[in-house]
Amino acid sequence: MDHVEEIDLAITGMTCAACVSRVERVLSRVPGVTDVAVNLATERARITTADHPDLPALIRAVEKSGYGATLIEADAPPAPPPDNTELVHVLIAAGLSAPLLLGMAVPALMLPGWAQFVLATAVQFGLGWRFYVAGWRAARALSGNMDLLVALGTSAAWGLSTWTWMTTGHAHGLYYESSALLIAFILFGKFLEGRARRQTGAAIRALMKLRPDTARVLRNGAETDTPIGDVRRGDRVVVRPGERIPVDGVIVDGLAGVDASMLTGESRPVEAAPGTHVSAGAIDLDGHLVIETTAVGAETTLARIVRLVEGAQASKAPIQRLADRVSAVFVPVVMVVALVTFGLWLFAGAIPGTALIHAISVLVIACPCALGLATPTAIMVGTGVAAKHGILIRDAAALELAHGIKVVVFDKTGTLTEGKPRLTGVTVFHEDRDTLLRLAASLQAGSEHSLAQAVREAASGNTVAPATGFRTLPGRGVTGSVDGRSLAMGNQRLMKDLGIAVEGGDEASTLAWLADTGDALRALGVFAFADTPKPGAKAAIARLHEMGLRTIMLTGDNKAAAAAVAGALGLDSFAAEILPADKAAEIVRLRADGAVVAMVGDGINDAPALAAADVGMAMATGTDVAMETAGITLMRGDPGLVAAAIDISRRTTSKIRQGLFWAFAYNVLGIPLAALGYLSPVLAGAAMAMSSVSVVTNALLLKSWRP
């Protein structure tokens, strides 16, 4: 079987959507590469390979296409803040261009031709040299990008002005201010764009800053400050009031309020006592804690959250594919339009200078920067703010799909209910109550099921010997031997499979029968359990109904218990006494009816249904298997987060569509206006620069979202 691996590369030199298409194209041609997603906003490429990746070949492919590439190491520290070089370049360009602009506005202050030449040349080939370098790389690779359009447009304006000045000696009728101001505007736009783009990654940086560099490890009775990389499982770590917890672990001594809001979105501190599991990055508010380490480094919950958010921000939404296909042919088409514009103006009787200026305006306004930024910036902000409130979105596809959800399917136990059932009654058919409790607790000693826990708690005064030959039957129950007796404990379906006739009863409780499966094949008794709905479950269902969604519950529990929960919470419908595979089949049936279906669950038995749904949502309070299968992980066991996840998806998708609309609109409106002579190169440059800034700024409005 092929070895599938993902690696991330940092890509330098990309300036627009055309660059993204070019890098994706060359990387996809490297042998072994099965998928590539390049993100302009994060300046990263995520490469999936069917075999061990040939890293040098990947880097060579990127460099050959005119860009730079370096491997991003796992758990790399956050990038240092940028220096002020970009701002300095903008200020210098503005300072050199200002006298040229003043001369254009006030003819009496027009500089002599040689002075205009010196100032414009300094801007064109000093500060604007970056456009020539990147444009040449693109042209050499038989591609086109923003830099090539800017280099061609500004060079044409500078060249026309220089030719006119040298042949006539006049200071008037020159276009030096157009070339210089174009570069100044574009540099300013890229500065604002970069500043805004850095804000989109604030969530990742905030999460990475939660990791302490050292831990106070207790060894031989003494506390030693130890680099976090040297801490091992089983080490005991001391955390004082006000400090961040450096590892995942279980408290063995101490009481404290723990603030885990950055990890789970939970606004209130959680009371932590011995036996409580805590995560790296949480804050010890007011107690002295000793924690036994269970996970460090890349294995911690915090590291997993960072990887999930990074993965979502590095992925590509399906809607972005359209923009990429357009941008791949955009630059060559624009160059043709510019040439046609030049020719038509000459044909209409304009002088070459005027025709060239209009062609330059077409070249400049059509740069496809905004097209490449509309989707990734919205996804970065949306996934970042969602993570801040306890909603982890695995990839952009899940985020985009979630906005169209029409049906939300819930598991019952642990999802809509507390998942902590208590034993409310035992009906004895044979033996006596204490014997039944002891046998049931012994049989269930190796089970992690919530009903097993309730049985063990009820039998705590009895001597329990673990069963031999223990076996779990998913969706039905367990079997094993206790004291040499073959036993089975489970639901009515299991009893039917064993050939034991039992009555389901009418009470709204979860029922489990204990049966002797030896020679005396018979039911020994029935256990009744009660599980209460979560406090916010009813309000969560009501909120989903307000959003126009249908709600369904699927459970392996009996019909009476399922009906009681469904009625109390106001669910639209439910299905009871179904196996895990049947849950997945029900999801498939709902999807076949044309609905976009979300499945919400928390257990191992929910994994098939989570995988079958359009969007799987797993409660992080459940099992790792469920979380690994789901597209969205809810860090708190709060059903209200389901509506919140759908809401942030809708808002993010709306921002993506707004961004793409305005990116296309700038070009659809701007190119004809420039071709018809209604936009000067300076105005075209300003409009082009502001298009990217406006798209990114619009995406940043998502940062104010609250569940």
Residues classed as catalytic? 411
Q: Indicate the length of the chain as a whole number.
A: 707
Contact predicate 246/215, CB 8 Å: yes
Number of CB atoms found within 10 A of residue 68's CB: 14
Helix axes 301-314, 369-388, angle to 10 degrees: 160
Helix axes 450-458, 433-443, angle to 10 degrees: 140
Where are any strands of DSSP class E within 31-97? Answer: 33-39, 44-49, 68-71
CA distances from 110 to 98, 116, 171, 330 (A): 12, 9, 7, 38
Contact predicate 282/258, CB 8 Å: yes
Q: For the chain, how far is it from start to end, CA to CA, in angstroms?
A: 43
> Can you tell me whether residue 642 is helix, strand or coil?
helix
User: Which neighbouring-strand residues pair with 226?
Assistant: 215
From the list 240, 141, 128, 236, the residue with the least C-alpha distance to 183 is 128
Contact predicate 462/444, CB 8 Å: no
Contacts of 219 (CB under 8 A, 6+ apart): 235
499: left (phi over 0), alpha (psi -120 to 50) or beta: left
DSSP letter string over 271-310?
EE-TT-EE-TT-EE-S--EEEEEEE-GGGSHHHHHHHHHH
CA-to-CA distance for 608 and 580, rounded, in angstroms? 7
CA-to-CA distance for 91 and 188, rounded, in angstroms? 9
CA-to-CA distance for 190 and 644, rounded, in angstroms? 34
Number of CB atoms found within 10 A of residue 264's CB: 23
User: Which neighbouring-strand residues pair with 218?
Assistant: 223, 236
Contact predicate 689/183, CB 8 Å: no
User: Which neighbouring-strand residues pair with 482?
Assistant: 485
Contact predicate 124/208, CB 8 Å: no
The label of the residue with tokens 């958010």 reads 309
